[in-house]
Amino acid sequence: MSEMVPPEVRPKPAVPAKPAHVVPSSAHTPHGPGAGGPGSGGSTLLGYIGIDTIIEQMRKKTMKTGFDFNIMVVGHSGLGKSTLVNTLFKSQVSRKSAGWSRDEKIPKTVEIKSVSHVIEEGGVKMKLTIIDTPGFGDQINNNNCWEPIEKYINEQYEKFLKEEVNIARKKRIPDTRVHCCLYFISPTGHSLRQLDIEFMKHLSRVVNLIPVIAKSDTLTPDEKTDFKQRVRKELEICGIEFYPQKEFDEDTEDKSDNDKIREAMPFAVVGSDKEYQVNSKRVLGRKSPWGVVEVENPNHCEFSLLRDFLIRSHLQDLKEVTHNIHYETYRAKRLNDNGGLHPISTGVGDTQESNL
Ligand SMILES: Nc1nc2c(ncn2[C@@H]2O[C@H](COP(=O)(O)OP(=O)(O)O)[C@@H](O)[C@H]2O)c(=O)[nH]1
Ligand SMILES: [Mg+2]
């Protein structure tokens, strides 16, 4: 059995992590509390190394390069998908592209449209791509209507895979993979539709699926509680595992944090781009006969829970699970099935194929 040496915790000194001017070591006279000179309380050997500066280094790199985040919204027309995404990112990120207006006839098949924006906050740049799926569930016969969506998700994995196996591969592969799929459940107050179950069953295997109850202000608080419970039960009975899946919890802390989130899902949300004056404050909300439903007030709806989960606590994990689990599963299957990379039939990317 191998022996485990307990970690040595080194004290962090009150000196800058990285000197402003690097002085050759021969010319360097140790001074200050962390330099480890005689009488300083430590020895040169036990002095500060600076391992913890990796965090600052990573922060700087991320600030410089920025990152991609791709979010897909699915659910039938009018469920408030575009509004919710705009509310999440506090801007018109989900604007309609030219020739794609509400008055237009409902498309015959599911379309997939993406729009990208660069959002910057605190010096950090995020390239946000919203992938919308207009037409989903709007037909009379919605059989297999998850197929084009799954195909799109797989095409993005294929694109990434092709870039990875390219001999002259890019230093940074553009990431168009879907990191998160928000599925909008209609606030019927009854139960899930067959279409909802079919979609979530198929898609939860290939992407981080997050179900939400749309337009929850149209339900009374009691209806909302009942509906949430029923939906959760139905998802369990159907064996639908949404994100964050139990099996990917990394440790007990992760498990206990995620258990709380799982118990509160699916979040019953409200979106709005209108502001109202409430107690001398401007808040995003929706006017109802009972007053203003405040979007960001946790006593009114669960929008803020969703926002905190999606952006403030799990954004990096969504990207990691996409890469380490969903993409990895696709990649392994693809390489196994074909004994390497043969020309693909999806018509994605360039026409030149490379073999492993
Ligand atoms: N009551 C209510 N209406 C909403 C909500 N979110 C959006 N809407 C309204 O529903 C309509 C359709 O919204 P939209 O975001 O375009 O839906 P999409 O077709 O799913 O993208 C618009 O009139 C919105 O103002 C909500 O949370 N509650
Ligand atoms: Mg829309």
pLDDT tens digits along 117-152: 999 998 899 999 999 998 898 887 888 889 999 999
**What separation in Å is there between the alpha carbon of 15 and the centre of ligand 2?**
53
Ligand nearest to the CA of 79: 1
Q: What is the predicted pLDDT for the residue at 44?
A: 60
> Average pLDDT of the chain?
84
**Beta-ladder partners of 126:** 67, 119
Q: What is the predicted pLDDT for the residue at 14?
A: 61
Greater confidence (273 vs 353) lies with 273
Q: Is the pLDDT of residue 5 over 60?
A: yes
Q: Take atom 9 of ligand 1 and give the residue whose Cα is closest.
A: 80
Which atom of ligand 1 is the closest one to the Cα of 132?
21
Q: What is the 3-state secondary structure (H, E, C) of 235-293?
A: HHHCCCCCCCCHHHCCCHHHHHHHHHHHHHCCEECCCCCCEEEECCEEEEEEEECCEEE
Q: What is the predicted pLDDT for the residue at 33?
A: 43
d(CA 258, CA 256): 6
Which atom of ligand 1 is the closest one to the Cα of 102?
16
What would the two tokens of residue 74 be?
Answer: 């699915």
Q: Is the pLDDT of residue 23 over 80?
A: no
Q: Where does residue 115 rank: exposed (0-12), middle (13-18), buried (19+ CB within 10 A)?
A: middle
Instruction: Name 31's Cβ contacts closer than 8 Å, sequence gap at least 6.
Output: 37
Instruction: Name 242's Cβ contacts closer than 8 Å, sequence gap at least 6.
Output: 200, 204, 209, 210, 211, 235, 265, 266
**What separation in Å is there between the alpha carbon of 76 and the centre of ligand 2?**
9
Chain centroid to CA 104: 31
| pLDDT tens column, 40-74 | 444 567 889 999 999 999 999 888 899 999 999 99
Written as one letter, the residue type at 180 is: C
Q: What is the predicted pLDDT for the residue at 282?
A: 93
Greater confidence (157 vs 22) lies with 157
DSSP-derived letter for residue 53 is G
Confidence of residue 25 (pLDDT cuts 50, 70, 90): very low
Q: What is the predicted pLDDT for the residue at 193?
A: 94
Which atom of ligand 1 is the closest one to the Cα of 295?
27
d(CA 125, CA 281): 29
Ligand nearest to the CA of 273: 1
- Letter string b/e over residues 24-48, b meaning 16 or more CB atoms within 10 A of that residue's CB: eeeeeeeeeebbbbeebebeeeebb
Q: What is the predicted pLDDT for the residue at 92?
A: 77
Q: Are strands 291-294 and 281-288 parallel, antiparallel or unpaired?
A: antiparallel
Confidence of residue 34 (pLDDT cuts 50, 70, 90): very low
Strand ranges across the sheet with 291-294 = 275-278, 281-288, 291-294
Instruction: Taking residues 176-190, report their average pLDDT.
Output: 97
Q: What is the predicted pLDDT for the residue at 6?
A: 72
d(CA 115, CA 99): 14
Q: Where does ligand 1 bind, in terms of residues with CB under 6 Å?
A: 77-83, 215, 217-218, 270-271, 286
d(CA 228, CA 148): 28
Whats the size of the chain, residue-wise?
Answer: 356
Confidence of residue 106 (pLDDT cuts 50, 70, 90): very low
Greater confidence (341 vs 166) lies with 166
| pLDDT tens column, 288-340 | 888 999 999 999 999 999 999 999 999 999 999 999 999 999 999 998 887 65
**What separation in Å is there between the alpha carbon of 114 and the centre of ligand 2?**
11
Ligand nearest to the CA of 182: 1
Q: Is the pLDDT of residue 15 over 90?
A: no
Q: Is the pLDDT of residue 30 over 90?
A: no
**What separation in Å is there between the alpha carbon of 106 and the centre of ligand 1?**
16
Which atom of ligand 1 is the closest one to the Cα of 273?
25
Confidence of residue 349 (pLDDT cuts 50, 70, 90): very low
Lowest mean pLDDT: which of 15-19, 164-168, 185-189, 225-229?
Answer: 15-19
**What separation in Å is there between the alpha carbon of 281 and the centre of ligand 2?**
29
Ligand 1: residue of 74, 82, 83, 296 to mutate (most ligand atoms within 8 A of CB) is 83
Asked if residue 265 lies in contact with residue 211, where contact means CB atoms within 8 angstroms, the answer is: yes
Residue 295: CB atoms within 10 A of its CB come to 26
- Letter string b/e over residues 163-188, b meaning 16 or more CB atoms within 10 A of that residue's CB: bebbeeeeeebebbbbbbbbbbbbbe
d(CA 208, CA 205): 8
Q: Take atom 14 of ligand 1 and give the residue whose Cα is closest.
A: 80
Q: What is the predicted pLDDT for the residue at 139?
A: 80
pTM of the model: 0.83
- Letter string b/e over residues 257-266, b meaning 16 or more CB atoms within 10 A of that residue's CB: bbeebbeebb
Confidence of residue 8 (pLDDT cuts 50, 70, 90): low
**What separation in Å is there between the alpha carbon of 322 and the centre of ligand 2?**
24
